[in-house]
Amino acid sequence: MSTKKTGTEADSQGQTIAELRRDRERREKTYRERALKIYPWICARCGREFTGKRLRELTVHHKDNDHDNNPNDGSNWELLCLYCHDNEHSRLVDEGWYNEATPGSEQKPPSTYKPFAGLETLLKNKK
Ligand SMILES: [Zn+2]
Ligand SMILES: [Zn+2]
């Protein structure tokens, strides 16, 4: 087996996307640890208790859905198990858990869409 490492591209100035992501992950890990120190390891919704390896299933929910709002007293956090967390967000129709899209901006397809618009010209050209 050969694991070749080609060059070091990470020494250039400016943060790469990977670095930003790592930074974010680190931050998330930190606030999770902080939240776990403040709150009992219990899901705030279903009341299940989490210990040991299962603690991984306990996640930090941001009450205002702003993942960058991490006050030291933990007032923006809520510990939820994966299931309740999922539930919470599908209930709120909040995309923020998965990406940074603004919630509540449901997009409808424009009503000007004509399904046979292309067909018309197609028939015209056909002689
Ligand atoms: Zn739960
Ligand atoms: Zn959440």
Q: Give the Å distances, CA to CA, from 42 to 37, 52, 55.
A: 12, 13, 9
**Residue 10 resides in a domain:** no
pTM above 0.75, yes or no: no
**Residue 82 resides in a domain:** yes
Spacing, Cα 8 to ligand 1 middle (Å): 44
**Residue 125 resides in a domain:** no
| 25 has a pLDDT exceeding 70 | yes
Bridge partners of residue 79, in order along the sequence: 60
Residue 15 has a pLDDT of 78
Counting ligands in written order, which one lies closest to the CA of residue 46? Answer: 1
**Residue 116 resides in a domain:** no
Query: Residues with Cβ within 5 Å of ion ligand 2?
Result: 61
Alpha-helical segments (H) within 56-114: 82-92
- Give how many domains the chain has, as a whole number: 1
**Residue 7 resides in a domain:** no
Q: Of 53 and 11, which is predicted with more confidence?
A: 53
Residue 19 has a pLDDT of 92
Q: Which domain holds residue 35?
A: 18-104
Spacing, Cα 44 to ligand 1 middle (Å): 7
**Residue 6 resides in a domain:** no
Counting ligands in written order, which one lies closest to the CA of residue 84? Answer: 1
Q: In which band, very low, low, confident or very high, does the pLDDT at 101 lie, cut at 50, 70 and 90?
A: very low
Q: Is 35 exposed, middle or buried (0-12, 13-18, 19+ CB in 10 A)?
A: buried
Average pLDDT over residues 58-68: 93
Q: Mean pLDDT in the chain?
A: 79
**Residue 117 resides in a domain:** no
Percent of the chain with pLDDT over 90: 46
State the virtual CA torsion across 17, 21, 26, 30 in degrees, nearest 10. 130
Residue 91 has a pLDDT of 72
Q: In which band, very low, low, confident or very high, does the pLDDT at 100 lie, cut at 50, 70 and 90?
A: very low
Q: Of 84 and 92, which is predicted with more confidence?
A: 84
**Residue 36 resides in a domain:** yes
Percent of the chain with pLDDT over 70: 63
